[in-house]
């Protein structure tokens, strides 16, 4: 794909979102939750683990631990019994106890909605805070997970390796009214079509818009 000007890249990004939205209008977060606390815990648990795996363990966890006080009053050992099939379950168990304690101490047991406040909570990084705030209508953000990091490069939207710098590129590329939608659509596309090693370019709605950076070229017979 020939070098494109900044305005051309913005127009291409808008078309990417439009086509993905038309192809996957049902796109949404795939973690199961019913309250802000359940959302925060589920997103925290999803690091280095699939959403499907998290959804398998959270029903029992959420039945037993309904409030920040419940997490604050338990021990990591107890939580490990619920989370042992989740990646990094020991660290996450410790983080959930500290999370409950911090929510009680600083936020009267409630989940804050600002990204800055969320980022200061135990076990919550900038990406997790971004995901939580956009789903609680706290702030507009474009949190970067592994799918967005990979597809942004493949689509030629950014060359940044650092998630925060990449998010800044994406925020400049699209109007803030589309950040939430684009965030979810790109994740769904990465999971369903644009695989890291074997992207299904033959059935991709973005095939003519994508420079396919990093995609191995097929060898001619």
Contacts of 130 (CB under 8 A, 6+ apart): 115, 141, 142, 143, 144, 167
**In whole angstroms, how far apart are CA 213 and each of 48, 96, 149, 199, 209?**
25, 39, 13, 11, 12
DSSP 3-state of 207 = coil
How many Cα neighbours within 13 Å face the side chain of 8? 7
Identify the active-site residue in 145, 197, 198, 217: 145
Identify the active-site residue in 32, 127, 162, 208: 127
**Known catalytic membership, residue 212:** no
**Known catalytic membership, residue 145:** yes
Residue pointed to by tokens 């959930």: 96
Q: Which residues are catalytic?
A: 127, 145
């Amino acid at each position: 794909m020939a070098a494109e000007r900044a305005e051309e890249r913005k127009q291409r990004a808008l078309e990417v979102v439009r086509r993905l939205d038309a192809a996957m209008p049902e796109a949404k977060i795939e973690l199961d939750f019913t309250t802000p606390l359940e959302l925060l815990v589920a997103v925290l648990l999803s690091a280095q683990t699939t959403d499907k795996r998290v959804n398998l363990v959270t029903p029992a966890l959420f039945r037993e631990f309904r409030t920040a006080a419940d997490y604050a009053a338990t021990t990591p050992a107890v939580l490990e019994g619920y989370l042992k099939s989740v990646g990094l379950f020991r660290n996450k168990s410790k983080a959930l106890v500290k999370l409950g304690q911090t929510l009680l101490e600083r936020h009267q047991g409630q989940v804050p909605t600002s990204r800055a406040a969320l980022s200061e909570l135990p076990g919550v990084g900038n990406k997790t805070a971004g995901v939580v705030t956009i789903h609680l209508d706290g702030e507009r953000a474009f949190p970067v997970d592994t799918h967005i990091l990979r597809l942004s490069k493949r689509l030629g939207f950014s060359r940044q390796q650092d998630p925060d710098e990449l998010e800044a590129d994406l925020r400049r590329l699209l109007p803030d009214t589309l950040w939430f939608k684009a965030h979810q659509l790109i994740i769904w596309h990465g999971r369903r079509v644009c695989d890291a090693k074997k992207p299904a370019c033959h059935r991709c709605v973005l095939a003519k818009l994508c420079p396919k950076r990093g995609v191995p070229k097929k060898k001619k017979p």
